[in-house]
Amino acid sequence: MSENSAAAWQALTGRAGERAALLGAEGLPTRRVEAWHYTPLQSLNGIAWQEAPALEAATVKQRVEGLNLPEHDGLLVFANGRFCKELSHLPDCMDVQEYGDGSAVQPLLAGRFSAGLNAALRQPGARLHVPAGTDAGLIVMVSLTEGDGVSTHLHHSVTLDEGAQLTLLDVQLGTGQYLTNPQVDVHCADKAHLSHITQQAESHEAARLAIVGARVGERGNYDSFTLNQGGVLARQEVVTQLSGPFSNTNVNAIQLVDGARLNDLSSMIHHASPDCTSRQTVRSVLSENGQGVFQGKILVDRIAQKTDGYQMNQALLLSEKAQMNSKPELEIYADDVKCSHGATVGALDEDQLFYLRSRGVQEEQARDMLVQAFLLETVELVEHESLRDYLLKALPGHV
């Protein structure tokens, strides 16, 4: 560890106290750690990350009211890692469970740095529970962070009992040079269906190490979509385990990266049961000096016969200096599976651009139209119609 790394590391281990062991002994991952090769964390080393202080209730209220959220059945607000009870409400069908100690890393996320960091510095988040056979509608969760040199480590859990349904819009935003490290543990019991939409709109100076671990039971469905568009360095890590037969997961994402920022979507889709399906479409638009990272692994156990997996990642480079690093991985132990994957990286099509311009459309608007068209097909994978409209409005050049 370098001299410089001491600041971040000492602060984080100091705050973790007895739990510091959960962080490991290696310091923040460098380029030499394979999982972090394209997203090394050295830039976080120089800051002695402190616990984020509470924000004024009036400030939080104002920020949340300014969000233009879609119509929802429940709202949960967190500000600087703390629950804002007075701004939150849930439908009657749901109960918020008492938050226990829960310091252990869940086995699904073992060995993953973001999960270790969260376990070491864990702050109680939402504990959502949808009873069997209930459709809890659309719940919005807002996590606001403000400040410099501060970090938050919220831990949420979302449990859907048999046949339960929920759509969760997870909105993350803030101002300042902070670090957020949220973890969401998801459990979809048999036939349960969770649509989880993450809108990552963090401050352009912020770092973010987010991780989701989802287990899906028989005929269950964990359908996730991430709009990655903020943060100077932001990883969204999604680990899903299809643990019951005939279950499905979607791990879709859009990444919009400009400036000198980096967005990362890393996923692990584990087919641990036969007859399961997984679908993944990740599209990135990179401009200026923006960097995109996609690491997508599909693991198919020997037992997981009749697996049907599809993975596609495509990137649009809008400048000479923009960069995309893609690492798809298939690890298959079953012999009767259908797994396809593909990757493309390219610039905007000159013929399409000329066609639009020859019809009188200004060059910049023509570019925006083509970028939006590239992203549209991915947004259309979101089932919830009002959320699709909401997400489309967050894209560049929307009409």
Shortest Cβ 367–another protein spacing (Å): 12
Coil/strand/helix, residue 315: strand
CB of 284 to another protein, least distance (A): 16
Query: Which residue from 35, 55, 101 is spatially nearest to 295, judged by alpha carbons?
Result: 35
Exposed, middle or buried by CB within 10 Å (0-12, 13-18, 19+), for 397?
Answer: middle
Q: Give 23 or 366: the residue with its C-beta nearer to another protein.
A: 366
CB of 330 to another protein, least distance (A): 27
Q: Which of 98, 197, 223, 204 is nearest to 141 (CA)?
A: 197
- The Cα 119–Cα 211 span in angstroms is 11
Query: In a 3-state reduction of DSSP, which class is residue 382?
Result: coil
CB atoms within 10 A of CB 118: 26
**Cα–Cα distance between 291 and 378 in angstroms, integer?**
20
Min dist. Cβ of residue 316 to another protein (A): 12
Question: 105 vs 375, which CB is nearer to another protein?
Answer: 375
Judged by beta carbon, residue 145 or residue 281, the one nearer another protein is 281
For residue 374, the minimal CB distance to another protein (Å) is: 6
Chain-centroid distance of CA 384 in Å reads 18
Query: Cβ distance 28 to 2 under 8 Å?
Result: no
Kindly tell me which of 333 and 354 has the beta carbon lying closer to another protein: 354
The answer to whether residues 73 and 138 touch, using CB atoms and an 8 Å cutoff, is yes
Which is nearer to another protein, 270 or 283 (by Cβ)?
Answer: 283
Give me the residues paired with residue 208 across strands. Answer: 180, 234
Q: Considering the complex, what minimum distance in angstroms separates the CB of residue 224 from another protein?
A: 22
Shortest CB 253 distance to another protein, Å: 17
Cβ–Cβ under 8 Å, residues 375 and 281? no
**333/355 with CB nearer another protein:** 355
Cβ distance 28 to 42 under 8 Å? yes
How far apart are CB 319 and another protein at their closest, in Å? 18
Residue numbers of the site for another protein (CB under 8 A)? 349-352, 354-363, 365-366, 369-370, 372-377, 399
Rounded (5°) CA angle 120-117-213: 105
CB of 248 to another protein, least distance (A): 25
User: The tokens of 80 are what?
Assistant: 């600087």
- 60-92 burial, b at 16+ Cβ within 10 Å, e below that, comes to beebbeeeeebebbbbbbbbbbbbbeebbebee
Q: Within a 10 A sphere around the Cβ of 164, how many other Cβ atoms?
A: 24
Residue placing its CB nearer to another protein in the complex, 134 or 378:
378
Structure tokens at 318: 């809008």
| Least distance to another protein, CB of residue 67, Å | 27
**Residue 217 phi, psi (nearest 5):** -85, -175
Question: Please, what sign has the CA dihedral across residues 8, 14, 15, 21?
Answer: positive
The residue behind tokens 């040199």 is: 149
DSSP structure class, residue 88: -
Q: Which is nearer to another protein, 334 or 392 (CB)?
A: 392
CB of 71 or CB of 364, closer to another protein: 364
Our CB check for another protein shows the closer of 57 and 347 to be: 347
Instruction: Please state the closest distance from residue 393 (CB atom) to another protein, in A.
Output: 15
Task: Name the residue nearer to another protein (CB basis): 238 or 316.
Answer: 316
